[in-house]
Amino acid sequence: MQSRTKIFFILCFLVVFLIYGRTIFGDFVFDDRGIIDHRYILEDLSRPQKIILLPYFTEEAGAYRPIALLSYSLNFILFSGAAWSFHLVNLIFYAWTGILIFFLVKKIFKKQLLAEAAALLFLTVPIHAEVVANIVGRAEIFALFFS
């Protein structure tokens, strides 16, 4: 991997932490409470199938996001459910999502500068604030990250 690419990866993390880093000091808000309501299930990894089968929020919503729920479960287990840990994981995955966009654009167009610009544009678009700042936004981050 070229040193320019490595420097760009560091830049992606710096940009994300400069823009959204303050969210680490935030608490659970609004829709995040849905995670807290299922805490008793998410804290118990002895039966992972229960977490995997759990609907996202309510059964009526019809949403199914097992990877996000498993990641919330790991946050509860590894960090005792501290809100900062949820925010930190969101920031890290958001930065990596920008890096994946870099690779995608570079593979399609074969232009480093275009790929860098596309990734930085993605990481700095203000409409992503809700996805990055709210803990439940991790499901949307994962939707792009794993697709």
Per-residue pLDDT of the chain (147 residues; tens, 9 = 90+): 799 999 999 999 999 999 999 999 999 998 898 787 777 788 888 878 888 888 876 666 678 888 998 999 999 999 998 999 999 999 999 999 999 999 999 999 999 999 999 999 999 999 999 999 999 999 999 999 999
Distance from C-alpha of 64 to C-alpha of 66, rounded to nearest angstrom: 6
Q: Which of 86, 94, 92, 97 is nearest to 31 (CA)?
A: 86
CA-only gyration radius of the chain, Å: 17
Would you tell me the crossing angle of helices 138-145 and 66-79 to the nearest 10 degrees? 120
Token look-up 């969101």 returns 90
Count of domains observed in the chain: 1
User: What range does the domain containing 128 cover?
Assistant: 3-145
d(CA 12, CA 19): 11
